[in-house]
Structure 1
Amino acid sequence: MSTTLTTWSLEQTSPSDLRPATPPEGDDITIARAEVPSAEFSRFLYTAVGGDIHWNDRLSLSYKEWQELVERPGAEIWVAYERGTPAGYVELDPQADGVVEIVYFGLIPAFRGRRIGGHLLTEGVRRAWDLAERWPDREPTRRVWLHTCSLDGPHAMANYERRGFRLFDTKVEEVEETSTPGPWPGAHS
Structure 2
Amino acid sequence: MRSPEELNGKEKPLGLEVIEAEEKEFRFNRYLYQLVGEAWSWTDKLSLSDDAWERYAENENLRTWVAYRKGSIAGYYELQRQDQGNVEIVYFGLAPKFIGQGFGGYLLTHAIDSAWSWGDTQRVWVHTCTLDHAAALRNYQARGMKIYKTEKAPSIGGSCGLSRS
User: Which category of TM-score, normalised to the shorter sequence, fits these structures?
Assistant: over 0.9
- Kindly indicate whether the alpha-carbon contact (under 8 Å) linking 2:42 and 2:158 is maintained by their aligned counterparts in 1: no
More helix by share: 2
| Number of residue pairs aligned between Structure 1 and Structure 2 | 159
* TM-score, normalised by the number of residues in structure 1: 0.81
Specify the SS of the correspondent of 1:42: helix
- Kindly indicate whether the alpha-carbon contact (under 8 Å) linking 1:13 and 1:143 is maintained by their aligned counterparts in 2: yes
Which of residues 53, 61, 80 is equivalent to 2:48? 61
* Offset of residue 131 of structure 1: 1.0
Cα distance in 1 for partners of 2:82, 2:136 equals: 23
**What does residue range 119-158 of structure 1 map to in structure 2 within 5 Å?**
119-132=106-119, 140-158=120-138
- Kindly indicate whether the alpha-carbon contact (under 8 Å) linking 1:18 and 1:165 is maintained by their aligned counterparts in 2: yes
- Kindly indicate whether the alpha-carbon contact (under 8 Å) linking 1:88 and 1:107 is maintained by their aligned counterparts in 2: yes
Instruction: Tell me which structure has the larger Cα radius of gyration.
Output: 1
Q: For 1:83-124, what per-residue CA distance to the aligned partner results, in whole angstroms no more than 9, with x for missing partners?
A: 111110010011011110000000011000001111111001
Report % sequence identity. 42
Mark the runs of 5 or more structure 1 residues left unpaired by the alignment. 1-11, 133-139, 180-189
Structure with larger RCO (C-alpha < 8 A, sep 6+): 1
Match of 1:14 in 2: 3
* Offset of residue 177 of structure 1: 6.1
Superposition RMSD in Å: 1.4
Match of 1:70 in 2: 57
Cα distance in 2 for partners of 1:17, 1:72 equals: 29
- Kindly indicate whether the alpha-carbon contact (under 8 Å) linking 1:74 and 1:131 is maintained by their aligned counterparts in 2: no
Mark the runs of 5 or more structure 2 residues left unpaired by the alignment. 160-165
**What does residue range 20-99 of structure 1 map to in structure 2 within 5 Å?**
20-24=9-13, 26=14, 28-99=15-86
* Offset of residue 67 of structure 1: 1.1
* TM-score, normalised by the number of residues in structure 2: 0.92
More strand by share: 1
